[in-house]
Amino acid sequence: MTRVKICGITEFEDARDAVLLGADAIGFNFYPKSSRYVHPSRAAKIIEKVPPFVTIVGVFVNHPDPQDLEDFAVSIGLHAVQLQGSETPDYCSMIQRVKVIKAFSVDSNIRVDTLKNHGSGTFLLDGCSPGTGTGFNWNLVFGANAFGSIIIAGGLTADNVSGVVTTLHPFGVDVATGVESKPGRKDYDRMRRFIEAVQRADVAMFGDS
């Protein structure tokens, strides 16, 4: 079944609601220039209250020291780090104690076979302006599943997410803007409708098992 990540969490209430609605993962953005940036101390207090079986992901952009990033991730309780910058395969390989999700911006020049050069095995494919809700042509990444676990982001909403699930069969989908009332604040009904749309698409493909 397709996993759902609700990203850009800044409030405990939003994390709680996302989990209760069935999100498999929640994300915290530690990139200071992001409109969804959350201070580590605030994120830590939210993470403490998140129940088991929910994956906690931290978003980073070109952090200068992979070992320092890894130490931070472990200390705050992250299960995975999502690297949204120009991090190299060597950089990614230096992070061992948490999972690595390497993000790529998709444009007409992308070649999905280059994913195999990154050893993390889990890749997030996003629009060229991450965090803005801008999507991309899904046909450009058709077949990416052959090179790892693929998470699709960028411009997803309750109205179009079923299309990406049935077209690309991704490991997961990632949404922030598409379930918000404003940057960093989630809308309960939009989250509910998004997660339900993913579940309906899965049932349509695989049956209610």
Catalytic residue numbers read 7, 126
The closest alpha carbon to 112, from 131, 90, 92, 137, belongs to 137
Any idea how long the chain is? Answer: 209
**Please, what is the Cα angle at 183 between 182 and 186, to 5 degrees?**
65
- Please give the single-letter amino acid code of residue 71: D
Which token pair is 148?
Answer: 């790892």
Q: Distance (Å, rounded) from C-alpha 132 to C-alpha 80?
A: 22
Give the C-alpha separation, 206 to 90, whole Å. 38
Element (H, E) at 162: helix 161-168
